[in-house]
Amino acid sequence: MAYKALLAKQGLVGEDLQAKENICILVKDGMIEDILDREAYEGQKPEGCEEVDLGDLTVMPGMFECHNHLALDARIPGHLGMMDRSECEHTLLALNGLVMI
């Protein structure tokens, strides 16, 4: 079991994104196991736990990027013009791996 502790000055946690100071996100084998304040973490620190101090950053445990345009390529000039196409056209372009302007 590989543990990692992400330590941050502040975290926005829970469904209400409540601000909590001095938090620890305890990760076990790549999955969030617990969200603790640093004092609680210090009292139950797993042996061999790797610590990553994020300093003054504010973190949102569990937040990840879910937004993507699979049929757009922002490197191509005029790519935003494709936003006028239908959902069906975007689906077909994404399935075919094509970018057409």
Tell me the C-alpha distance between 34 and 45, whole Å: 12
In tens, the pLDDT along 59-75 reads 999 877 666 677 777 77
Whether the predicted model's global pTM rises above the 0.75 cut:
no
Query: For residue 54, what are the contacts with CB-CB under 8 A and spacing of at least 6?
Result: 6, 7, 8, 9
Alpha-carbon distance of 99 to 101, in angstroms, equals 7
pLDDT in tens, 7-57: 999 999 988 889 999 999 999 999 999 999 999 999 999 999 999 999 999
Cβ-contact 47, 1 below 8 angstroms: no
**E-state strands within 29-67:** 31-37, 50-53, 58-59
Query: What domains lie within the chain, and their CATH numbers?
Result: 3-59 (2.30.40.10), 66-101 (no CATH)
